[in-house]
């Protein structure tokens, strides 16, 4: 979460895309993310709550407030975000972008580690 906040602060849009769950890449708007980054000055991150997301966990939740300034003054973006660990990498999951359905031999979306066809498919 902190690394993604730093990426917003530094306008590192490629990093934001790289740390977004790959099954959601089709729904991302790189130009829109860049436009928001260019018009926003991120000033502070307050992590309010974490759940799981430690060694041995496959999922994690972070509740935070990200403070920013834009043309209308200072505000806070308050969000509870889900993260998933796949292939040793933590990914942010957008709550409003549907995941691309996995192929039969892809890992199952439930995080069991089994192939989709042998689990929920």
pLDDT for position 17: 94
pLDDT for position 96: 61
Write out pLDDT tens, residues 53-95: 998 999 999 999 999 999 889 999 999 999 999 989 999 997 7
The model carries a pTM of 0.75
- Domains (range + CATH), the chain: 2-118 (3.10.450.50)
pLDDT for position 6: 96
Residue 11: pLDDT band with limits 50, 70, 90: very high
Is the confidence at residue 16, as pLDDT, over 70? yes
Would you state the torsion angle of the CA atoms of residues 14, 20, 23, 27, taken in this order, to the nearest 10 degrees?
-70
Write out pLDDT tens, residues 31-41: 999 998 899 99
Cα–Cα distance measured from residue 83 to residue 91, given in angstroms and rounded to the nearest whole number? 5
């Amino acid at each position: 979460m902190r690394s993604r906040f730093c990426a917003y602060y530094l306008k590192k849009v490629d990093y934001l895309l790289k740390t977004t769950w790959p099954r959601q890449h089709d729904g991302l708007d790189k130009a829109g993310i860049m436009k928001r980054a260019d018009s926003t000055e991120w000033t502070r991150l307050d992590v309010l709550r974490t759940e799981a997301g430690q060694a041995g966990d496959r999922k994690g939740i972070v509740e935070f407030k990200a403070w920013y300034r834009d043309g209308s003054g200072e505000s806070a973006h308050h969000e509870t975000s889900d993260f998933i660990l796949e292939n040793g990498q933590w990914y942010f999951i957008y709550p409003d972008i549907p995941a691309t359905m996995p192929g039969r031999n892809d890992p199952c979306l439930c995080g069991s580690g089994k192939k989709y066809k042998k689990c929920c498919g």
